[in-house]
A = this chain, B = another copy of it.
Amino acid sequence: MSRPEPVTEPRARLSKERVLRAAVALAVRDGIESLTMRKLADELGAGAMSLYHHVPNKEQLLDGMIDIVFSEIESPPTDVDWKTAMRKRAVSTRETLARHRWAIGLMEGRTTHGPGNLSLHNAVLGCLRAAGFSLEATVHAYSVLDAYIYGFALQESDMSSENAEDFAAEAQRQMHEYEAVLAEYPYLVEVVGGYVAESGYDYATEFLFGLDLILDGLDRLRDASERKHLTARPPPEPRGLSK
């Protein structure tokens, strides 16, 4: 009560962090296509142009938002074997990306990587190196894993919520134009219309299936890699900053 401000504090001071957080919240709530500089400013109780004193332009605003997403992904824990660590990282990535559907489409073509992105990448590479993967094997492992994880997230964002009845609805709509269209896709009908519609489709378990398939494959790769490079120099340091 000692401060002479109005009781209802209509606007707190802006800051880069506040702007980014509000932008992410708006994207989660209304979708990325309705994220407008004016709307974002309104949300913050500010004028549109005020934003530009904390963010150089919308493109870099999006960069910042994406790095927030990366920073929400849990790094692979260091106190378990590499497989469980990678598994946890992968699951956390999928969950985060599912929470931020708006982000996936924006990652294409983006060339600047923020600190959240870089430090996550670094932690993942470190986990693999510490587990005995050779440099070559590390690159391979990283490549497969990330492609799968982001690809799965991409597909998950394609189909909105329930795959089964959604797809049925889409098929129905197609049937509106061509009555016999479905007859041209018998396997689609069998698998999606039949099996999936009955048994349902759980993204989380489906994700784990492919993830474990890949992790098992990498396990074999690591064994081979270890045998081959037994006499080679070990990774730079077990963990943490070297030099």
Q: Which chain A residues have a beta carbon within 8 Å of chain B's beta carbons?
A: 101, 104-113, 115, 118-119, 121-123, 125-126, 129, 135-136, 138-140, 142-144, 146-152, 154-155, 157-160, 166, 170, 173-174, 181, 183-188, 190-191, 194-196, 199, 201, 206, 209-210, 213-214, 216-218, 221, 235-237, 241-243
- Is B113 touching A209 in the complex (CB atoms < 8 A)? no
Q: Would you call B157 and A109 a contact (CB within 8 A)?
A: yes
> A122 and B236: CB pair below 8 A?
no
Measured CB to CB, the closest approach of chain B to A210, in angstroms, equals 4
Q: Is the CB of A140 within 8 A of B241?
A: no
The answer to whether A135 and B209 touch across the interface, beta carbons within 8 angstroms, is no
B187 touches A243 (CB 8 A): no
When C-beta atoms are compared, the residue in chain B nearest to A191 turns out to be B125
Residues of B within 8 A of A105 (CB): 105-109
Contact of A122 among B129, B139, B170, B185 (CB under 8 A): B185
**In the complex, the 7 A-B pairs of residues with the closest C-beta atoms, listed nearest first:** A151-B151, A105-B108, A144-B210, A147-B151, A125-B187, A147-B152, A122-B185
A115–chain B nearest beta-carbon distance, Å = 8
Closest chain B CB from A29 CB (angstroms): 15
CB atoms of A241 and B196 under 8 A apart: no
Report the separation of the CA atoms of residues A166 and B110 in the bound assembly, to the nearest whole angstrom. 13
Closest B residue to A237 using CB positions: B186
- Within 8 Å CB of A210, what residues of B? 140, 143-144, 147-148, 214
Known pairs A113-B170, A213-B217, A241-B183; A146 contacts B139 (CB<8 A): no
